[in-house]
Amino acid sequence: MTVEQLSFADLPEADEFTSAPLRETTFVVVDLETTGGSPENDRITEIGAVKIRGGEVLGEFATLVDPGRAIPPQIVALTGITTAMLYDAPAVEAVLPSFVEFARGCVLVAHNARFDMGFLRRSAARAGLPWPFSASLCTVVMARRILSRQEAPSVKLFALADLFDVSVRPTHRALDDARATVDVFHRLLERVGDQGVRTVGDLTTYLPRATPAMRAKRTMASGLPHRPGVYLFRGPSEEVLYIGTAVDLHRRVSGYFNGSDTRTRIAEMVSLATRVDHVECAHALEAGVAELRLLGVHKPSYNRRSRNPQRGWWITLTAERFPRLKVSRTPGTESLGPVTSRAVALEVADVLSGAAGLRTCGADLKKASHHWCEGPTEAGRLPDPLVATLPGTCRAASDRPQTLPDYLCRVEAVRDLISGRSDSLLAVLCERVEYLAQQRRFESAARARDRLSATIETLARTQRLAAVAQRPEVVGARPDGAGGWELSVVRYGRLAGSAHAARGVAPMAVVERLRAASTTVLPPADDSGPLAGAPAEETALIERWLYESGTRLVDVSDQLSLPIGAAERWRDFARIARSAREATSR
């Protein structure tokens, strides 16, 4: 049975910690590194903890942990922890007793305690070990209560470390992050010292907690299963107020009634709710897709994201005689996107137009045998359509006329980049950034770097999603963490069917039944765009699931791969550029 992680507000007032003065209470600040974000499916790779009392450090605990599986590449890039580093590390079953002894009799503190405590409790349950800590303090909850939005727009650990200028900076390694959390915890306690907060009980009273009316609605979650799925909060007129997804429906919905979610609009939504409906799903991917589809149908007023899954901006190569890149709401045969921001889409279109020399003027060239855009004329030229502009007025600007054959080779370079046949234009843009840096024009180089980074991200995302959306059928299987398999059938970028093969059940027999029962998806029209008409958010969920560590391709009707010139190999440039931009903005 799943046990919900409590806060101190859920404990009886007689609890031994509630009356203890903060300066005399021993806290253990803990941080974990893991193979991913799901306590059910992922594993701990590192534990770091610092024991403190009265502002002094009493001891530290740090160890790597063998997760029994390979470390996903994105986690290696984030933390620097590789599979080889964990080869001789102890298993979590050997580590947890030592950690429990280190922290026994103390109050646990973590930044985003739900995440860390969820992993620790789940790991203890798997190992058959008791977990003696009934509650914890969360510095995320503390920061949201104590700091204003103007002072701390973000309560991520890196942002709070910068805000308080802590002595140890977080590095995505467990002990460093625990040390940084200690400093953040102390700074937050300093802020409430003059507000009558003297004991642990005072602190938990000061922090957000559920109202009696909110707690009275806990029965809405009593009938929900401990299974993945989608939940729908309904209002007094049966209207859908809010839609969410969960790997454990009962636990997730129960969390809305204990005050752990500090968002004002969510508290308002819970106060209006009269019941919670649910749709049980085979696994998390099916739940995520079902959530997107239900959001598109109901458009609930308390959901802010994904209510319009079809909206977005596309960068499309037009079918004019002298093609150009146009930003619009609908894709064309040769398009990039969708991009959520029109400004970013216009910027990417401008970057590509500048690299290839495509025109950016909107003049209609269809009705004339030739066309001049404020340019000089030349006698004796053939009456083919021509484009000439004064430099600075258009990306195709030149001081001489250009014939159609001159121009079409530029268009072909953009087509090759969009399709992934060649990335030569990205190489040209990268050389431009290096040239500006060598000329010590650093602000121009940074601007060009950021524009190129956005272009690479847009290209790479479109090409990855197109690789999935253009396959007639892909059958994938992913371990469920308990000896069984999560199964999915994907057709033209849409989830056509899902199933779960429990441990001991032959998965291939389930696969065959699933394929026969899955939704038929007709082949897309030629002008349906790179995603074959599939919703981009749904295809993105599927693409991430297929490429997660551990997922296996059971069958695919065509080769599932990226073209040789795909922008994916430039992602490191984009990642480094993003890191540099974030470091500059701090």
Given 111, 172, 283, 371, the catalytic residue: 172
> Cis peptide leading into 300, omega within 30 of 0?
no
Cα-Cα-Cα-Cα dihedral sign, residues 207, 153, 230, 303: positive
Q: What is the distance of C-alpha 238 from the center of its chain?
A: 32
In the block, residue with structure tokens 């309560």:
155
Q: How far is CA 445 from CA 91, 285, 357, in A?
A: 47, 41, 20
**Burial track 126-165 (b if 16+ CB lie within 10 A, e otherwise):** eeeeeeebebbbbbbbbbbebbeeeebeebebbbbbebbe
Q: What is the pLDDT of residue 513?
A: 96
Q: What is the pLDDT of residue 19?
A: 72
Tokens of 245: 């997804």
Q: What are phi and psi of 470, to 5 degrees?
A: -95, 5
**In sequence order, what are the residues at sequence separation of 6 or more whose Cβ sits closer than 8 angstroms to the Cβ of residue 538?**
289, 292, 293, 309, 493, 494, 495
Measured distance CA(204)–CA(52) in Å, rounded? 19
**What ranges make up the beta strands (E) of 26-121?**
27-34, 44-53, 56-64, 107-110
Q: What is the pLDDT of residue 201?
A: 80
Tokens of 163: 């805000």
Angle at 143 between CA 138 and CA 146, to 5 degrees: 120
Q: What is the DSSP string of 469-498?
A: HT-S-EEEEEE-SSS-EEEEEEETTEEEEE
Paired residues of 326 in beta bridges: 316
Q: What are phi and psi of 30, to 5 degrees?
A: -120, 145
**Cβ count within 10 A of residue 508:** 12
Measured distance CA(231)–CA(210) in Å, rounded? 20
Measured distance CA(353)–CA(429) in Å, rounded? 11
**Cβ count within 10 A of residue 325:** 27
Measured distance CA(533)–CA(331) in Å, rounded? 9
Residue type, 552: R
Measured distance CA(420)–CA(461) in Å, rounded? 12
User: Residue 172 catalytic?
Assistant: yes
Domain annotation for the chain: domains and CATH numbers: 6-206 (3.30.420.10), 212-298 (3.40.1440.10), 313-467 (no CATH), 472-559 (no CATH)
Q: How far is CA 401 from CA 205, 371, 372, 376, 574, in A?
A: 76, 10, 8, 8, 36
Q: What is the pLDDT of residue 218?
A: 85
Question: β-strand 135-138 against 107-110: which pairing, if any?
Answer: parallel
Measured distance CA(214)–CA(327) in Å, rounded? 47
Q: What is the pLDDT of residue 526?
A: 79
Q: With CA atoms as reference, report the closest residue to 203 among 135, 287, 282, 286.
A: 135
Measured distance CA(367)–CA(159) in Å, rounded? 57
In the block, residue with structure tokens 């007639």:
472
Measured distance CA(365)–CA(320) in Å, rounded? 8
- Looking at residue 88, the DSSP 8-state letter turns out to be T
Per-residue pLDDT of the chain (586 residues; tens, 9 = 90+): 333 444 444 443 334 556 778 889 999 999 999 998 888 888 999 999 999 999 999 999 999 999 999 998 889 999 999 999 998 999 999 999 999 999 998 999 999 988 999 999 999 988 888 888 877 899 998 898 888 888 888 899 999 999 999 999 999 999 999 999 999 999 999 988 878 888 888 887 777 666 778 878 889 998 899 899 999 999 999 999 999 999 889 888 987 887 666 677 888 899 999 999 999 999 999 999 999 999 989 999 998 866 666 678 999 999 888 899 999 998 988 999 899 899 999 999 999 999 998 988 776 655 443 444 433 334 433 334 445 545 556 887 776 777 788 889 999 999 999 999 999 999 999 999 999 999 999 899 889 999 999 999 999 999 999 999 999 999 999 998 889 999 999 999 999 999 999 999 999 999 999 999 999 999 988 778 899 889 999 999 999 999 888 899 999 988 888 888 888 888 888 777 777 666 665 4
- Contact in structure between 248 and 224 (CB atoms under 8 Å): no
**Cβ count within 10 A of residue 290:** 21
Q: What is the pLDDT of residue 16?
A: 55
